[in-house]
A and B are shown apart, each in its own frame.
Chain A
Amino acid sequence: MIRFEGVCKSFGGARAVNEVTLDVARGSLCALVGTSGSGKSTLLRLANRLLEADEGSIRFDGADVTNIPPVELRRRMGYVIQSVGLFPHWTVERNVATVPRLLGWSPARIGERVAELLDLVGLPPGRHARRYPDELSGGQQQRVGVARALAGEPELLLMDEPFGAVDPPTRRGLQDSLMAIQKRTGTTILLVTHDVEEAIRLSGTLAVLDQGRLLQTGTPAQVLTQPATDAVARFFGGPLLGLNRLKALRVGDRAQAAASPDEREPIDMDATLEAALARMVAEGCSRLPVRRLADGTRGVLDLADLVRP
């Protein structure tokens, strides 16, 4: 969907992005992670040409982005930022309709699309369409921000620390909504975050940046079980890396066939190992029944398998 190839970007002599090559597959969610100043936001802004690359090429759906006028390019990509930036003089409805209007859709189609999106992000249009941004909570504002970014049916959604400014419970709710939306729409998402938990939770692919260089790409499970460099390990918790690995791995990755029946409430295959460990601690046991394995038999998760490297 979007491919960065040997991309460099400097600001006043300092390399913010250095020789990055990254391919984001259609329909995937790729999280760009790294500490502040690692170049992740710069890389994102190169994609929709809010910044222009010094070297290398960026191909969007096969075409070099420098061959697409910026205005057209941006209407084909959704853009969500941490500070949301809703247009304060427009209602929620009008904000969401921004890109469809720019694209010249018919009013009927825009109305339908706006209602659909407000439902999708969990803001029933009957109650929220006519409200103004300053009447919404921070979490609601970002929901509108996501709806606005998705309204033009973009092929790619760019998100720059979208949930960084909301409180943790609200953030979880927004993350859940985003996962549900992606499942339903299949939109390709490139997401910048410095929140390790968020990256592990949301992404299919992690791309770890440090000082402008891409250190490692892979699934969260791959990156957390085999960090390519010390810097990657350090970013994912250093001495606490093992705990974060439990967030990336699922019960299904470590469950075995059950030898004997267990009458306790079984745990789901796609629960994280972190959740499984939490239950073991709570129940003071070292094994849990698992709902059912891939072959349909009952399974069991043993603490020894859970902590296996």
Chain B
Amino acid sequence: MARAVFWTLPIWSGHETAAMRMMSVMRTAGRLARRPVVWVGAVFLALTFGMDGLAPHLGFLFPAGTRLVYTRASFPELVASHALLTGAASLIAIAMGVAAALFATRPAGRAYAATLDRLGALAQTFPPVAVLALAVPSLGYGALPTAFALVLYGVLPVMGAGMAGLSSVPAAVLEAADGSGFSPAGRLWRIEMPLAAPILLAGVRTSVTIGIGTATIGSTVGALTLGSPIIDGLSGDNPAFVLQGTVLVALFAVTVDLAIGEAQRALPQRPN
């Protein structure tokens, strides 16, 4: 089969004209433009880099005398710092959540599944601000206590989805895998994980999106995020800063949410 493709490809490209290639590029571009993630992402990037240019023209929206341009940090800086913080925290949360889900669904850890589930739920009942206030004395001000709170909040959706995904694999499939002679690791990577992936990814989507929103609170303890203009705006009675920070955080969260949605659709997975 692979050989057949190998032989037919050069014949095809030999007949392909520049015009045909152009049309296919345009068709691809057209398909891309219909994806919401592309244009929401474009608006997000445009505002990130264009906010400083746009802000001076928005005076009509706000009370006279409002300072319109946030100057403590540039918006690209804020976005980069926000992305780094939530990205790192999400990666840790995903790693921990997946590890916990794996542990809770292996024979050795099955007894702990209920406990882990409860512990995760408990972690989410603490309000983020309280977690920050409690973390500051031991972790100091800045990004570290924020990351700690984000990880705490991010683990549960991933762990819950991971456990749900892994335990959704039908018992008959597992028995057939064992009977076929898969090793436990082979069964996990080739059968269980691919089948759990859609549900797991839904949990990752929730976790990351919540994280992007929650990270703004980190600015109350000195982390540089898109929350910084919001906090400054609230304390300095400046609605322009609040609006700028809010719009960018919302666009950031929606873009990432849509991007993970695309990844979910792209999974080599049969719809059920």
Contact = CB atoms under 8 A, between A and B. Distances in A.
B181 A102 contact: yes
Interface string A35-71: 0000000000000101000000000000000000011
A85 to B, nearest CB: 3
B183 interface: yes
Interface residues of A, number: 28
B191 A87 contact: yes
A89 B270 contact: yes
B122 interface: no
B186 interface: yes
B200 interface: no
A83 B186 CA distance: 22
The range of chain B's interface size is: 20 to 34
Contacts, number: 68
A74 B187 CA distance: 14
Interface in B176-200: 176-183, 186, 191, 194-195
A75 B172 contact: no
Contacts of A107: 2
A71 B270 contact: no
Given A134-B270, A134-B272, A85 B173 contact: yes
Contacts of B172: 81, 83-85
B182 A102 contact: yes
A89 B195 contact: yes
Given A89-B270, A102-B186, A111 B178 contact: no
Nearest to B2: A107
B53 interface: no
Contact of B179 (A48, A72, A88, A134): A48
Contacts of A79: 176, 179-180
Contact of A71 (B2, B183, B194): B183
A141 to B, nearest CB: 11
Contacts of B191: 87
Interface string A73-106: 1110001010111111100000000110010000
A158 B172 CA distance: 15
A198 B268 CA distance: 39
A158 B180 CA distance: 11
Contacts of B171: 83
3 tightest A-B CB contacts, nearest first: A85-B176, A79-B179, A85-B172
Interface of A: 48, 50, 70-75, 79, 81, 83-89, 98-99, 102, 107, 111, 132, 134, 145, 148-149, 158
Given A102-B180, A102-B181, A102-B182, 8 more contacts: A71-B182, A74-B181, A81-B176, A84-B176, A85-B174, A89-B195, A89-B270, A149-B180
